[in-house]
Structure 1
Amino acid sequence: MNKINAHFSSKKFIGLALLAAMPFFTFAQKPNWQNLDLKADSTFGMSTEKAYQELLKGKKSKPVIVGVLDGGVDYNHEDLKRIIWINKKEKPDNGIDDDKNGYIDDVRGWNFIGSAKGSVDHEALELTRLLRRDQAKFANADASSVAAADLPAFQAYQKMKADYDDKLAEAKSGLENTIGFKSVVDAMLKKMGKENPSSTDIQNYQPENELEGRVRNILLDQLKDQRFEEFYKAQLVEGITYFQGRIDYNLNMTYDPRAEFVGDNYADSRERFYGNNDIKGPDAKHGTHVAGIIAADRTNNLGIKGVADNVLIMGVRAVPDGDERDKDVANAIRYAVDNGAKVLNMSFGKAYSWDKAVVDDAIKYAMSKDVLLVQAAGNENQNIDVDKNFPDRRYNDGGQAGAFIVVGASGWKDDESLKASFSNYGKTTVDVFAPGVKIYSTVPDSKYENLDGTSMASPAVAGLAALIRSYYPKFSAQQVKDIILKSVVKVNHNVNLKVGEETKSVPFSDLCVTGGIVNVYNALKLAAETK
């Protein structure tokens, strides 16, 4: 999953197949909806504000460090700078490892996908890297020529190659379709003589052919819920960039930035000490948005209010535009744990793993240090009980991580649309759902944007976990997880689930372990009763 975000696929986007077929939410949501209350506000938020008003007034709390393992955090953002973790044992910019932890000048965190030469921005998918690794051995082979011992690996290669071919074809088709759609829109704008038309302007436009008529109808539908310039930038301009990036980087068999920008011994998964101290990196939009959802300053009357009010955000950069590498994920987990983080947010994931064992060991290490891990379920509308999604709390050698929460994304209406159309699900693998549609949060340069994704749902839960650990510090990571899961608002109705080309009506309880949406008020109330 690269950096998960709006209506495109995997991390950065959720899948803009044909624009005409895209599922969108076409009803307006209230500001700060994710923190509102279902009964009081008729919006299926998490009751965060209700908790502050009724349960937390006058109560004392302790600061909790939250590790944001992501693509970068803008630590100078107006709504984040007060709550950025500072390594007080390290003297800034002196070129010395003052605290002797192996990382020089790690004042605000660490970047495991960089070096003195710079930082990785774009990357290949893990699928692409695995194919590149195996093609020398299997590209020209067939089942009859492969040794019996190599047959399972050959069959895995064939499946990966088919998956890769599908993804490349989808990216090329998506690019062609988006360019074509944009060209029609641009022609219509020229005829209207307007760069940012209103819904009325679009409604009054007289299509000159059937294609313009279809585009006009799509635009009218989109403008029910957003301004034209927002749609144009997010779906057309960024859509073209996304699909071009899939072709040029994510699915490019020859693209490999590792040696140039990191320079580690990649064959050694246990290598720990590499990288640089640039926690922002070349593209901090995703991680900055995540950080704001968790803990944007609730006291400064600027921008937004995060879920937690006494948190320090530690930026640990391990996620490029493409698939994160297992070695970097393992090291990011260990770094955050060793430097005091008690909650880790992991808004990333992928369908293939290079070295799952090294990540398993890092997760076991986090469990041994009483750290709670929160992970986004992913944005492919897949059942991850069946389809693999890494990291995975289930260990290769048996058993699974206990203090580990997997989060799906929900919308704000308590009806059949409650499950976000893009969200992965799983009756045994996804624990809870949380708000993840049109979430307004921080982005670089002290700006704010609405983004969609399980990447936005995961930090809502991480923020709640940090809030509990802040006000009830005696609870273990496992106890915090149990409180969050036991206090959900149960959903007792069916929701829409698209399976292939068919939309089915299924019980929400079939989509996750708890059958509910996380709730801050309920969780804090249960915590108070449990202590």
Structure 2
Amino acid sequence: IILLFAGCKSSKESVVSATLMIPKSNFTALELQTWYQKDYLTDSIPGISLDKWFKQNKKKSGREVIVAVIDTQVDINHEDLKDQFWTNQKEIPNNNIDDDNNGYVDDIHGWNFTSNKKGDYITWGNFESVRFIRQWDPLFKEKKEEQIKPEDIANYKEYQRAVKVNDKENIYYNRWLSGLNHSVSIFPLVKDTLKHFFPKEDYTYKQLDSLYKKHKLNDKTYRQRRESDDRDLGALIFYMMINMEDNESTLEALKGSQAELDSIVNKNLNKNFNDRIIIGDNPDVLEKGYGSGNVSITKKGLKNIQGHATKVTGIIAANRQNAIGVNGVAPNVKIMPLNISYSGDENDKDIAMAIYYAVDNGAKVINMSFGKEFSVHQQWVSDAFKYAEKHDVLLVHGSGNERFNVDENPYYPSDNSFDETPEVSANFINVGSTSARLDKTFVSAFSNYGKKNVDLFAPGEQIYTTTLGNTYKSDSGTSLAAPIVSGTAALIWSFYPNLTAIEIKQIIIDSGTTYNIEVTTPGTKDKLIAFSELSKSGKVLNVYNAMKLAEQRSKQKR
């Protein structure tokens, strides 16, 4: 039995209701696809009460709101999204002229900051820790703190943190790659050996496990076996069992994983790898115009990186009127795709320039479902935040999936400089992730949290949304919680345009649902903590309450 308080505050009144209910635990297939849109009081599912609001407001229609999605490239032709993208009416397509003089040539639907005019684009980029080390190596390498000038101490400490993270990641990924290299080389022997027991090669994991135990084989760890050259029968069976667990039961799958790990080691983690050669710009200078207007490139031979933004876009704006696929949080939304993400960490230059572009071209909400532990040019991003605040634009960010406390572990982009100074801006919402389970696992095990630097939570686990090639799948991450909040902000602005970005942020936070339960602290085995202690508000997004409170606040301003 869960004690729940659903609050809706205004400047004149505070309404609090309490109820005892048993949360739903068995879901139908349809409920699993739509759980996050449900209402706890009505459906016994801890969703955002979106369906409840739409059922009571079927005849209402709002004005159009532009939401910028700063993310990967996007599947712009998806059946449930193709009519939902912003079009720059001031630009004439494909004439190679900057018709609207905004600094970007042929920016019809947005801008790709990670490509060139030929259609090539970044697929692998450095981790930000690598960029930070490269930036400060000339000044700090092999130096002790007493040798550093007082004004450089903060950067020196961050450099030392980056070196530690980089060393740890190098060990981890090189060891993993070594194991995969060995698995690829030994795979033919594994297959041939298993043919002796299974001539048709139709074995299952359970059958291999039984064979492994039958021969009373030594239970060595997976890594030990992969990194050694152990070729006894037990090792060979164990290789295939692990491969099947990792969906690598074919040589092709193994080689695919090997190629991915090789790129992580030799590109993501390589100080000498220049990920900006394709673009041809200088990443240390802010400028307009680099990149291309193609936000959905399909080029043979290049890795497809449209998947992430396609999921995010569907949550915000999938067509609610076409009776197919999924329903986005908000109607009357046009998505402005701004591509900055790839396999690696986003570049601060691209983040800042994408925010400036979004603000200058009419976006009211900016969704940022990405993050990193370091920031080489944090001031650039902070200045862009302030620019968005000055122009009344709301920023929504996923808190990250590292399972740590972002009050103690820096995570960027952020409105916090992590140096005890006041927040950079007041228009930034940081969002953690919850599940459909109203028990100690209510907060997603992967979600970052923070009493100071996470504003509230929203559903982000097993969210059914649009995926590449007119398909639909469920996925999890704070990347999916953030667009639920972005869609809500757009919905509020659509009906109550006289509200400001800061007012909408406060409405979203004030109107959330408080669940009086203890949950497992992410990143711990089973350390329980009050849910209210994991974010600034201690609440979960509630669209129904938010729209009611927005209506009150809007009327007060008239």
Q: TM-score range by the shorter chain?
A: 0.7 to 0.9
After TM superposition, list the pairs within 5 Å mapping 1:170-185 onto structure 2. 170-175=172-177
2:269 matches 1:277: no
CA distance in 2, matches of 1:313, 1:410: 25
CA distance in 1, matches of 2:483, 2:493: 15
Instruction: Choose 151-160 or 312-321, whichever is displaced more.
Output: 151-160
**What does the per-residue CA deviation read over 1:484-530, in whole Å, with 9 as the maximum and x for residues that have no partner?**
11111102010011455x42000011100111211112211222333
Contact 1:378 1:455 in 2 (8 A): yes
CA distance in 2, matches of 1:143, 1:101: 46
Q: What is the match of residue 44 of structure 1?
A: 46
> What one-letter code is carried by the residue in structure 1 that aligns with 2:124?
H
Superposition RMSD on alpha carbons, in Å?
Answer: 3.3
Specify which of 253, 262, 265 is matched with residue 282 of structure 2: 265
Instruction: Choose 296-305 or 152-161, whichever is displaced more.
Output: 152-161
> What one-letter code is carried by the residue in structure 1 that aligns with 2:68?
G
**What does the per-residue CA deviation read over 1:265-285, in whole Å, with 9 as the maximum and x for residues that have no partner?**
3232x3222111121244111
Secondary structure of the equivalent of 2:282? coil
Specify which of 437, 440, 446 is matched with residue 470 of structure 2: 446
Contact 2:445 2:523 in 1 (8 A): no
2:412 matches 1:390: yes
Specify which of 366, 391, 401 is matched with residue 379 of structure 1: 401
**What does the per-residue CA deviation read over 1:95-145, in whole Å, with 9 as the maximum and x for residues that have no partner?**
111111110000000011222242212100111011123334443445576
Contact 1:189 1:195 in 2 (8 A): no
Specify which of 506, 510, 525 is matched with residue 529 of structure 2: 506
CA distance in 1, matches of 2:498, 2:89: 25
After TM superposition, list the pairs within 5 Å mapping 1:28-39 onto structure 2. 30-39=32-41
Show structure 1 runs of 5+ residues with no match.
1-24, 216-227
> What one-letter code is carried by the residue in structure 1 that aligns with 2:292?
N
How much does 1:179 deviate?
Answer: 8.2
Secondary structure of the equivalent of 2:212? coil
> What one-letter code is carried by the residue in structure 2 that aligns with 1:123?
G
**What does the per-residue CA deviation read over 1:176-233, in whole Å, with 9 as the maximum and x for residues that have no partner?**
678899999x979977767796xxx848973423689999xxxxxxxxxxxx999738
Q: What is the match of residue 320 of structure 1?
A: 342
How much does 1:318 deviate?
Answer: 1.4
TM-score normalised to the size of structure 1?
0.83
> What one-letter code is carried by the residue in structure 2 that aligns with 1:342?
K
Q: What is the match of residue 12 of structure 1?
A: none
How much does 1:239 deviate?
Answer: 6.5
Larger-gyration structure (1/2)? 2
CA distance in 1, matches of 2:127, 2:138: 18
CA distance in 2, matches of 1:279, 1:244: 27
**What does the per-residue CA deviation read over 1:35-78, in whole Å, with 9 as the maximum and x for residues that have no partner?**
12223333222121121112x21112101100000011111111
CA distance in 2, matches of 1:469, 1:196: 57
After TM superposition, list the pairs within 5 Å mapping 1:43-192 onto structure 2. 43-54=45-56, 56-117=57-118, 118-142=120-144, 153-175=155-177
Secondary structure of the equivalent of 1:297? coil
Contact 2:447 2:522 in 1 (8 A): no
**What does the per-residue CA deviation read over 1:150-173, in whole Å, with 9 as the maximum and x for residues that have no partner?**
666544433321111012222234
Q: What is the match of residue 20 of structure 2?
A: none
Q: What is the match of residue 542 of structure 2?
A: 519
How many residues are matched?
A: 486
Q: What is the match of residue 18 of structure 1?
A: none
How much does 1:442 deviate?
Answer: 1.3
2:265 matches 1:247: yes
How much does 1:345 deviate?
Answer: 0.1
Q: What is the match of residue 232 of structure 2?
A: none
CA distance in 2, matches of 1:520, 1:287: 23
TM-score normalised to the size of structure 2?
0.79
Q: What is the match of residue 208 of structure 1?
A: 212
Show structure 2 runs of 5+ residues with no match.
1-24, 223-242, 298-303
Q: What is the match of residue 22 of structure 2?
A: none
